């Protein structure tokens, strides 16, 4: 295979937008949106219980002449078993991706044996990049296939990723139905040459993914210590000091962890929320405001925010493990009895505690954005549902692309939550009930939802492609205690609506399509910049570097890596008509 390989590093559009818990973090429409007429009508009918028949096209065995395929809507998809190789990442909270309900379900329905190379989340992107660069890649990329830049390079330019459009249009009734409901998704997934190369991930509905940077605090401790929920960074520090020194769990030990978080998961890095009290900060390292894109990792406000985080760290208020631990380890802190965790950062509260425990769920409530010393207050808000690449791609090595596409179409069916509840955790609502926004309920929280932080194997945990039903969360059944597990998603929606009232001073960046050369340049430049920023932030927070003495050197390092050129190239591409 003679190709010129480029060292395309998967960009932050991949790392932030497509990361595991970014499954929760897709960017839905404004939470104030009202249901469309088609969705309102759909709410009056029961959810389908057929696996893949919502929009079945004219029955046909195959559009590619594969005689081993059954007619569309007939299962298993393949008459005789076949084997397909793939690569997939493993979330820390999933015990086994092979011995797994979703794997078994897809294999049973398709008669396709999935020969999966399973790679831990940390290091997955590097492994995939090496595989694509050397040519040692499998038939299917099941996780983090890339962003729009990867589409340009691996799809249009190098032709490793094959066009999926013929299959989407003709043999994928479920995805076709989702695209019909939300045409902006298909439009966003379509490359400049008119083809789809990577299937998008989408929630299809307003929800808690409109805000990523959330924080959760033990309000039982606040009550015991006679403290109010903090609203400023000064008040926040005072609360954390009280958590550390006044034995709020009452066991006579100094075992309290005032503030923690996690890495390599959805928005749990402790600095994400707190830096926005000092200046705008987004994981893209970019800020769109007033028709221009600037950097957000090199401002005076960010320097001050890192100095504040260093104070928390130096005084033992910020957990050192929060800068290295994974989600399962954060969950272990939240599971301690008696409670030892004062507050934590995460996209949703169930990332840190067992929300099936009503007392714990009630104790930990969201902390609205803190106001910093200069009056800065807010969080980045992602109100628009966008597409920027996705998880799933088929490579030119795959001999059975149609069979694989028909298999993956199963995850886009309405009833997939009933078959494999790990992804959306919703099932059909009780007849006659109301939704969280007052509309007739169509869905409710699955009572069998597993909110544990380890040992799960009932699904892929957002590690691969997923798709939601349009505006379904507007029809989510709600009643009783908002903190009860059956109202979990409703609780998150309500919390997110409060966060959205305090947007940070920056606009949502929309995905871009660049030329092959620019796409490769943007992606290859961004990865070292992002790694450098994350490493430097940890060094400033821990004190191994000083925000006073070493800040200029940090800025010089950004310049050396091409941060200014990256920002300018992004501007040129973003605003090019």
Q: State the Cα–Cα distance between residues 499 and 491, nearest whole angstrom.
A: 13
With beta carbons less than 8 A apart as the criterion, state whether 361 and 353 touch.
yes
Q: Per-residue pLDDT tens for 463-472?
A: 888 777 776 6
The neighbouring-strand residues paired with 487 are none
The 8 Å CB, 24+ separation contacts for 351-354 are 351/21, 351/262, 351/265, 351/266, 351/268, 351/327, 351/453, 352/216, 352/260, 352/268, 353/216, 354/451, 354/452
Residue 480: burial class (beta carbons within 10 Å; 0-12, 13-18, 19+): exposed
HEC readout, 289-349: ECCEEEECCCCHHHHHHHHHHHHHHHCCCECHHHHCCCHHHHHHHHCCCCCCEEEEECCCH
DSSP-derived letter for residue 260 is: E
Per-residue model confidence (pLDDT) at position 527: 87
Give the pLDDT band of residue 446 (cuts 50, 70, 90). Answer: confident
Q: Per-residue pLDDT tens for 98-149?
A: 999 899 999 999 999 999 999 998 889 999 999 999 999 999 999 999 988 8
Q: State the Cα–Cα distance between residues 80 and 255, nearest whole angstrom.
A: 59
| Residue 53 vs residue 318, higher pLDDT | 318
Cis peptide before 76 (omega within 30 of 0): yes
Helix, strand and coil content of the chain, in percent to the nearest 5, comes to 40, 15, 50
Give the pLDDT band of residue 61 (cuts 50, 70, 90). Answer: low
**pLDDT for residue 240 is more than 80:** yes
Give the pLDDT band of residue 254 (cuts 50, 70, 90). Answer: very high
Q: State the Cα–Cα distance between residues 540 and 556, nearest whole angstrom.
A: 15
Q: Per-residue pLDDT tens for 152-198?
A: 989 999 999 999 999 998 999 999 998 998 888 899 899 999 999 99
Q: Is residue 427 helix, strand or coil?
A: strand
**Going by C-beta distance under 8 Å and a sequence separation of 6 or more, which residues neighbour residue 130?**
136
Give the pLDDT band of residue 16 (cuts 50, 70, 90). Answer: very low
Per-residue model confidence (pLDDT) at position 425: 64
Mean confidence (pLDDT) of the chain: 85
Question: What would the mean pLDDT of 397-413 be, rounded to a whole number?
Answer: 95
Per-residue model confidence (pLDDT) at position 468: 73
CA distances from 318 to 23, 241, 261, 270 (A): 27, 10, 9, 8
Q: Which of 449, 512, 411 is nearest to 204 (CA)?
A: 411
pTM above 0.75, yes or no: no
Per-residue model confidence (pLDDT) at position 381: 93
Q: Per-residue pLDDT tens for 479-530?
A: 789 999 888 888 998 899 899 999 999 999 988 888 878 877 887 899 899 9
**pLDDT for residue 214 is more than 90:** yes
Q: State the Cα–Cα distance between residues 292 and 575, nearest whole angstrom.
A: 9
> What residue has token string 């200069």?
374
Q: Which of 47-56, 106-115, 230-239, 246-255 is predicted least confidently?
A: 47-56
For the chain, what percent of residues have pLDDT higher than 90? Answer: 62
**pLDDT for residue 314 is more than 90:** yes
Per-residue model confidence (pLDDT) at position 457: 81
**pLDDT for residue 458 is more than 90:** no
């Amino acid at each position: 295979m003679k190709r010129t390989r480029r060292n395309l590093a998967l960009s932050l559009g991949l790392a932030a937008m497509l990361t595991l818990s970014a499954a929760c973090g897709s960017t839905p429409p404004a939470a104030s949106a009202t249901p469309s007429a088609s969705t309102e009508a759909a709410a009056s009918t029961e959810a389908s219980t057929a696996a893949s028949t919502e929009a079945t096209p004219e029955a046909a065995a195959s559009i590619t002449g594969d005689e081993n395929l059954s007619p569309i809507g007939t299962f298993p998809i393949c008459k005789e078993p076949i084997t397909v190789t793939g690569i997939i990442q493993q979330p820390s909270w999933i015990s086994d991706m092979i011995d797994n309900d979703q794997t078994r379900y897809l294999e049973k329905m398709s008669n396709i044996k999935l020969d999966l190379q399973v790679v831990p989340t940390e290091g997955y992107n590097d492994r995939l990049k090496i595989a694509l660069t050397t040519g040692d890649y499998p038939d299917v990329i099941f996780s983090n296939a890339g962003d729009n830049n990867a589409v340009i390079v691996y799809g249009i330019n190098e032709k490793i990723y094959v066009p999926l459009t013929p299959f989407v249009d003709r043999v994928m009734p479920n995805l076709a139905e989702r695209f019909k409901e939300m045409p902006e998704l298909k439009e966003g997934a379509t490359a400049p040459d008119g083809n789809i190369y990577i299937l998008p991930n989408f929630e299809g509905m307003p929800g808690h993914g409109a805000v990523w940077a959330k924080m959760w605090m033990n309000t039982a401790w606040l009550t015991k210590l006679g403290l109010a929920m903090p609203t400023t960074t000064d008040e926040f520090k005072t609360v954390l000091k009280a958590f550390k020194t006044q034995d709020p769990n009452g066991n006579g030990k100094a075992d309290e962890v005032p503030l923690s978080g996690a890495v390599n998961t959805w928005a749990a890095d402790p600095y994400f929320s707190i830096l926005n009290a000092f200046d705008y900060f987004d994981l893209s390292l970019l800020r769109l405001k007033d028709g221009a894109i600037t950097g957000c990792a090199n401002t005076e406000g960010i320097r001050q925010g890192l100095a504040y985080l260093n104070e928390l760290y130096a005084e033992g208020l910020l957990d050192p493990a929060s800068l290295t631990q994974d989600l399962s380890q954060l969950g272990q802190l939240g599971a301690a009895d008696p409670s030892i965790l004062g507050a934590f950062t995460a996209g949703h509260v169930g990332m840190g505690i067992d929300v099936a425990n009503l007392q714990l769920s009630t104790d930990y409530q969201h902390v609205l954005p803190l106001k910093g010393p200069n009056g800065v207050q807010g969080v980045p808000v992602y109100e628009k549902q966008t597409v920027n690449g996705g998880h799933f791609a088929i490579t030119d090595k795959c001999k059975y692309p149609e069979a694989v596409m028909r298999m993956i179409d199963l995850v886009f069916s309405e009833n997939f939550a009933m078959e494999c509840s790990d992804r959306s955790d919703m099932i059909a609502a009780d007849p006659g009930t109301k939704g969280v926004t007052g509309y007739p309920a169509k869905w409710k929280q699955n009572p069998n939802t597993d909110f544990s932080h380890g040992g799960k194997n009932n699904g892929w945990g957002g590690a691969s492609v997923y798709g939601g039903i349009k505006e379904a969360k507007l029809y989510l059944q709600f009643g009783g205690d908002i903190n009860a597990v059956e109202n979990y998603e409703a609780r998150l929606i309500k919390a997110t609506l409060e966060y959205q009232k305090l947007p940070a001073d920056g606009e949502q960046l929309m995905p871009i399509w660049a030329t092959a050369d620019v796409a490769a340049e943007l992606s290859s430049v961004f990865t070292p910049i992002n790694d450098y920023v994350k490493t430097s932030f940890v060094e400033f927070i821990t004190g191994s570097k000083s925000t006073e003495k070493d800040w200029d050197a940090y800025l010089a390092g950004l310049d050396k890596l091409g941060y200014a050129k990256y920002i300018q190239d992004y501007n040129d591409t973003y605003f090019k008509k």
